[in-house]
Amino acid sequence: MATRTLQSSGVQFDDQRNFYLSPRVTQELWPSVMPFTTVISQGNVRSPGEMEDTIFKLFEHRNPWRRQYFDNNGDSVTINTNDADSSEITIDGITGLNSTVDASYIGLECEVWDSTETTLRGSVLVTSVPSSTGIKVRNLDGATSISTVDNDRFVVVGNAHGEGASSPEAWADDLHMAWNSTQEFRTPYEISRKLRKAALKGEMKELDRLKKQKAGEHKMQKEKAFLFGRNPVGTNLDPSSADTFTDASGNGAAWRTDANGNVVRTTMGIFTAIDKYGNSSGEDQNIFSFAASAFTWKNYVAITEKMFQYLPNSGFKRAFCGRGAMSIWAVWGTDGIGGNSGWQVQLSPYKKDRLGFNFRTLETPHGVLQLIPTPAIDRGRNDWMLVIDHDDLLHAMYERPEFRQNIKVDNAPSLQKDEYWSDEGLGITLIEKHSVIKFT
């Protein structure tokens, strides 16, 4: 009798042989998809019942006393050493003071710097306000006159008043309003009754497989909206912006509508907000761009001076990174940060945060960054890093997220349709506290 062997074709190959090592196990490519949403959901959250409208406002305030100055607006004035008022100096570029020149300026002690703030010309005392745009000063330097020219900067270093004088004029600024909106997320799936009941390999129940897959899709799309979404109303995060709070829609107004005329509200993501309201230069810079091939550790330490300036006590921030950005910190060679800096950058080993995502830490004299690989930061942003202050981000939920089961019932179709539904958005305050680093 001929010996029987395993067949490579025919009925035995197609129908009798069992090729499945783990017939009930399917490995998933993305086990953790939303570290950014996870972080903001553990902090400042507005849950259903706390929100009375899908459009919401937030208070923010920037202390004016941190940086107070004004600029010479075109006048060339010599401030003599005698005890007499100078000629009127017209000013603009007012920061941290009343935007209209008034008696509250009297008594301000100022250093006079050139426009680059590298040459100190001397010190003066504001003694009178002859107009709503100008001041007169007296020289506080005993033996040297001061010549001030266009764009010189008067930096406030204190105030001084005469003995027995009355209390000076008072002034105060108002709170600033920022806003955003939630948006409706809907992720459906459906399955026929026959397939729902079938016993399968891989995943025994196709309905359960789809349920898990669409849950991940719902999470990823929400994560990307919180990062990259755009709100056509704006969020007013820049105090000088011209954004207008409105609920108008259609006919070219703020909110968009769908094909049936229904209002479609969308939330502003943090990347989009930084691009729209952030600064690529100056003391409040929070958008940084570098060529990866030339980036050095010195560059990084310099930008952390600005990134951590609003965290004098904590010194810790989370940085959500594309995979390319994670790689830049480890590259060693002539075209990497290690080769450019002359030594290898030290990262901590991978650790798992209590919230479930992986991270590594990077330390500088100004603060510690928790580097978090973020799947949603990809494509053209793969080499980017988002650095946040989670105290100034809010997860807004207008209604409680739902899993809606068997929503297609008209005419008794021979199928089941389910849906993940949520109405959520991102609240952002004090845009200066959040940063983006772009490597090119």
Q: Is residue 16's pLDDT more than 70?
A: no
Q: Helices (DSSP H) in 23-145: which residue ranges?
A: 35-41
Q: Percentage of residues in the chain with pLDDT exceeding 90?
A: 47
d(CA 434, CA 288): 11
* pLDDT tens digits, one per residue of 111-161: 999 999 999 999 999 999 999 999 999 999 888 999 999 999 999 999 999
Mean pLDDT for the chain? 85
Spatial separation of the C-alpha atoms in residues 250 and 88, rounded to whole Å: 52
- Residues 264-289 pLDDT 10s: 999 999 999 999 999 999 889 999 99
pLDDT band at 29 (very low <50, low <70, confident <90, very high): very low
* Third-level CATH fold of 65-159: Elongation Factor Tu (Ef-tu); domain 3 (2.40.30)
User: DSSP character for 2?
Assistant: P
Region 40-48 average pLDDT: 76
No. of helices (H) and no. of strands (E), the chain: 8, 22
**Average of per-residue pLDDT across 289-299:** 86
Q: State CA 308 to chain mean position distance.
A: 14
For residue 337, what are the β-bridge partners?
Answer: none
Domain residue limits, the chain? 35-61+176-439, 65-159
Say yes or no: domain 35-61+176-439 is CATH 3.30.70: no
pLDDT band (50, 70, 90) for residue 326? confident
Q: What is the mean pLDDT of residues 377-387?
A: 93
pLDDT at position 155 is: 97
**What sign for the dihedral angle of Cα 369, 375, 381, 383?**
positive
* DSSP for residue 168: P
In percent, the amount of the chain with pLDDT more than 70 equals 82
Rounded-to-integer distance, Cα 112 and Cα 120, Å: 6
316 DSSP assignment: E
Angle at the Cα of 23 (from 22 to 27), degrees rounded to 5? Answer: 65
Tens digits of residue pLDDT in 358-381: 768 888 788 888 888 899 999 899
Answer for the pair 134, 90: CB distance below 8 angstroms, yes or no.
Answer: yes
Across the range 408-424, mean pLDDT stands at 89
Can you give the three-state secondary structure of 336-356, one letter per residue? CHHHHHCCCCCCCCCEECCCC
Per DSSP, the three-state class of 395 is strand
Neighbours of 360 (CB within 10 A): 19
Neighbours of 254 (CB within 10 A): 17
Say which range, 174-183, 228-237, 317-326, 354-363, has the weakest mean pLDDT: 354-363
The two tokens of residue 192 are 């026929």
pLDDT value, residue 331: 63
Quick one: pLDDT band at residue 321, thresholds 50, 70, 90? very high
Residue 323 backbone phi and psi in degrees, to 5: -60, -35
Q: Do residues 287 and 278 lie in contact, with contact meaning Cβ atoms separated by under 8 Å?
A: yes
| Torsion sign (Cα): 197, 200, 205, 211 | negative
Reported pTM: 0.82
Residue 345, pLDDT above cutoff 60: no
Alpha helices of 14-147 — where are they, by DSSP H? 35-41
pLDDT tens-digit map of 53-109: 899 999 998 888 888 999 999 999 999 999 999 999 999 999 999 999 999 999 999
